[in-house]
Amino acid sequence: MEPSTLTFIVVIAVATFYIISLYNNLVRLKHNVSQAWSNIDILLKQRHDELPKLIDTCREYMQYEQETLNRVIEARSQVSSAQEKQDLKGLGQAESQLRVGLGNLFALAEDYPELKANESFQHLQNRISGIENSIADRREFYNASVNIYNVRIEQFPDVLIAKQMNFTARDLLEFKKADVDIGQLFKSH
């Protein structure tokens, strides 16, 4: 075998290995984003299941606060709808509305000492607060994973493979800046 033929084969083999390596790294990053989203999705479903219990508990005591309770129910529905459609922009907006609604609900709960003393209410407060903190942590991890993935599919030489293999940019999960710190609302005064 001639040296030029051997050199050509080695160059082709190295190039092929390099392209395969780039592709596999992009696949790994894409799956990291999917896994990070799955972690958020699970938490959103857990919170979704807890909210009706909270509303029912509050409804027993807060007979004159139906508008606030209805806002939380509507926001919960919007979150669920956006989640099913995998609409991250809509989810971010709905999440912001839900957080505002929950913030208002817990602020109003301060005016109902019997509600605040209710063991079920306290348990749900703690449960939802823990879920909210976990969502915030997972959202940060998800957004970091999305940023890494999006940068890689735009960098050379990865962009060449990404375009050929239809790797597309993913959206960040963003909430409005005016988020309510639900953890603060759960602390007893």
Give me the residue spans of the domains in the chain.
Answer: 13-186
Confidence of residue 86 (pLDDT cuts 50, 70, 90): confident
pLDDT tens per residue, range 1-44:
788 899 999 999 999 999 999 999 999 999 999 999 999 999 99
pLDDT tens per residue, range 158-168:
999 999 999 99
Q: Which of 47, 64, 52 is nearest to 109 (CA)?
A: 64
Q: Which amino acid is at 117?
A: A
Whose tokens are 């959103």? That residue is 44
Dist. CA 142–CA 185, nearest whole Å:
26
pLDDT tens per residue, range 94-110:
998 998 888 888 888 88
- Asked if 170 and 150 count as a contact pair (C-beta separation under 8 A), the reply is yes
Dist. CA 178–CA 129, nearest whole Å:
18
Confidence of residue 180 (pLDDT cuts 50, 70, 90): very low
Whose tokens are 């710190």? That residue is 181
Dist. CA 144–CA 35, nearest whole Å:
12
pLDDT tens per residue, range 16-26:
999 999 999 99
Q: Which of 62, 134, 122, 70 is nearest to 98 (CA)?
A: 70
**Residues sharing a CB contact under 8 Å with residue 110, sequence separation 6 or more, in sequence order:** 116, 189
CATH 1.10.10.10 fits 13-186, yes or no: no
Average pLDDT of the chain to the nearest whole number: 88
Question: 145-162: buried (b, 16+ CB within 10 Å) or exposed (e) per residue?
Answer: bbeebbebbeeeebeebb
CA-to-CA separations, 176 to 111, 129, 167, 170, in angstroms, rounded: 27, 19, 28, 19
Q: Which of 58-72, 99-113, 147-161, 168-182 has the highest mean pLDDT?
A: 147-161
Q: Which of 145, 134, 48 is nearest to 91 (CA)?
A: 48
